[in-house]
Structure 1
Amino acid sequence: MIRPASTADRALVSSLLAGATWKHQHLDWFSAIELIGTPPCFLALEGARIVGCMACPPDVREIDWIRLFVAGLGYPVERVWDRLWDVAQDAARLSGATAAAALPTADWMPGLLKRAGFREVNQVIFLEWGGAPLPGHPPSKVRIRPLRRPEIAAVAEIDHRAFRPMWQLSPQALEAALAQSAVATVADIDGDMVGYQITTASAVGAHLARLAVDPPLQGNGIGSLLVCDALRTLARRGLRRISVNTQADNRPSLRLYASLGFAPTGQSYPVYTFML
């Protein structure tokens, strides 16, 4: 049996996750349990027992990322996936999504995706800055200042202009990112916001989680100013290991990070899509 999940199921899904071998959780700003009850989100049951869960609520309307998939211990993962995906893809179509996407971080997940007709379209690759000297910048009209919560709507507008729908973040996701940030700044020119960055931190290092510059102004060093300011701020706090990830086909992004001393770590994850 397959049924929609509700917020009342969160404790049951939490228990399922705790004991499961087969579990996929998307890399984003929301915990898996927060997603339970936001459609499309479904449970697979054997009798009264929950044996699987799939959640793929969209962050932007066009794309449904598979944000959570879990199959209970002792249950065939392929069978649980098939039952849940059959229902979830229909629900995604009805909601207006044009594609589903997945960023698998476990080596067993790509097999399920390929079996279901997903196609690998990209790679997300990781780079790291280890304290390399940063370039100087000539005098500029660009001012870097802290990002304020009331500015999230303006940040989302820049984000949506800078990224294809698959990679865009909603205002809700950006607000969650800001709440988890260690350094969040915007770039202004004559009072107009032209770019932003959000970086998180932990005891072992930091992660440059988001960087965007308004497309008409890209290529003018604004991204470099934002990143260098964040790196210097973090270095003053004693953090000199900063990671970032970007798409393998995003050549401008890769050139920027290379120019600032970021080097590939060798870690990467494939990106899969399924046209609905």
Structure 2
Amino acid sequence: TDEWLNNKDAPTFVLWDEDRIIGVLGVSIPLEGTCWLRLAAVIDGVDIQHAIETLWQTLYIHLQKQHIKSVWILGVHAWLTPHLQYLDFRYVEDVVTLRRNTSELPSTPQSDIAIDIRTLHMEDVPMVADVDRQAFHPPWQMTDDDIYHALRHAAIATVAQVDNKIIGYQISTKSHSIAHLARLAVHPTMQGRKIGAALLDDMIRRFQRRGISTMTVNTQASNTHSQRLYNRYYFERNGYDFPVWRFTFT
């Protein structure tokens, strides 16, 4: 949150009642005309609908001047969801959670090219960010700052190289005895060649050497390709799905 609040490109607005803050609404740094609603809070005892609408009106004007095309939100907090439709947000799809609770692994993926997997370093971030923006469409892309931030909190972060060129990467975190695959991306020109599987396989083995076999990952419900890969590695949906909503400027 500090990264967003301290960044002039990620506007955050507060609602005051005399000398106290009663509400906050803020978005991420825009990327290719899209941004995420990252921060929303209203204190107890305040009319939530009125507070959110008041904050949104100010944020709307600001984003419109910045020529933002759409604002997205992941409905992690149920209290906000009922108010989104009043702001003309529309449901898009779910982000699903998959969980792996086994030490078993399928056979090692065999690619038709030589893949080198190594640790991801800070100096790799610009090249990794380019891969990310090629692999994903807005709003799912990550900025350089997003990747720097993720890398600082990573337990394991690796890149896949072919002929010394970065063509894929993964970033994973750890909380106690559970690992989480936060990001996995492969350049579109290299997809379908077992590179994602190689990164995933390597990551799982690294965590297992640390005694960690339980892992989670999130992906869009519509991303059936990634779900097939995760299913092959014994990830299964656990029912923790979150709705994605979008507001489109007209």
User: The TM-score by the shorter chain falls in which range?
Assistant: over 0.9
Identify unmatched segments of 5+ residues in structure 2.
none
Quote the offset at 1:97 in angstroms. 1.3
Q: 2:24 — aligned with what? A: 53
Quote the offset at 1:36 in angstroms. 2.5
Q: 1:138 — aligned with what? A: 110
Aligned with 2:169: secondary structure? strand
Quote the offset at 1:135 in angstroms. 2.2
Aligned with 1:156: secondary structure? helix
Residues 40-189 of structure 1: pairs in structure 2 closer than 5 A: 40-131=11-102, 132-138=104-110, 140-189=113-162
Q: Which amino acid aligns with 2:230?
A: Y
Matched, 1:36 2:5: yes
Matched, 1:228 2:201: yes
Quote the offset at 1:46 in angstroms. 1.3
Percent identity, aligned pairs only, is 32
Aligned with 2:108: secondary structure? coil
Q: 1:16 — aligned with what? A: none
Give, in whole Å, the separation in 2 of the partners of 1:224 and 1:195.
Answer: 11
Q: Tell me the alpha carbon deviations over residues 238-264 of structure 1, each in whole angstroms, 9 at most, x when there is no partner.
A: 110010000000111111111111111
Quote the offset at 1:203 in angstroms. 0.7
Contact 2:69–2:248 (8 Å) recurs in 1 = yes
Aligned with 2:239: secondary structure? strand
Contact 1:123–1:271 (8 Å) recurs in 2 = yes
Matched, 1:206 2:179: yes
Q: Which amino acid aligns with 2:138?
A: P
Aligned with 1:184: secondary structure? strand
Give, in whole Å, the separation in 2 of the partners of 1:239 and 1:159.
Answer: 27
Matched, 1:254 2:223: no
Aligned with 2:154: secondary structure? coil
Aligned with 1:165: secondary structure? coil
Which stretch of structure 1 is more off in the superposition, 149-158 or 36-45?
36-45
Q: Tell me the alpha carbon deviations over residues 11-40 of structure 1, each in whole angstroms, 9 at most, x when there is no partner.
A: xxxxxxxxxxxxxxxxxxxx2x44225442
Residues 191-202 of structure 1: pairs in structure 2 closer than 5 A: 191-202=164-175
Q: Tell me the alpha carbon deviations over residues 102-139 of structure 1, each in whole angstroms, 9 at most, x when there is no partner.
A: 10112222111111110010110000112232322336
- Of 214, 219, 232, the residue aligned with 1:241 is 214
Q: Which amino acid aligns with 2:41?
A: V
Q: Tell me the alpha carbon deviations over residues 141-185 of structure 1, each in whole angstroms, 9 at most, x when there is no partner.
A: 011111111010000000000001100000001001111101100
Contact 1:120–1:272 (8 Å) recurs in 2 = yes
Normalised to the residue count of structure 2, the TM-score between the two structures is 0.94
Identify unmatched segments of 5+ residues in structure 1.
1-30
Q: Which amino acid aligns with 1:41?
A: T
Aligned residues: 245
Give, in whole Å, the separation in 1 of the partners of 2:204 and 2:97.
Answer: 17
Residues 150 and 34 of structure 1, relative CA distance in 2, 3 Å threshold? closer
Q: Which amino acid aligns with 1:230?
A: M
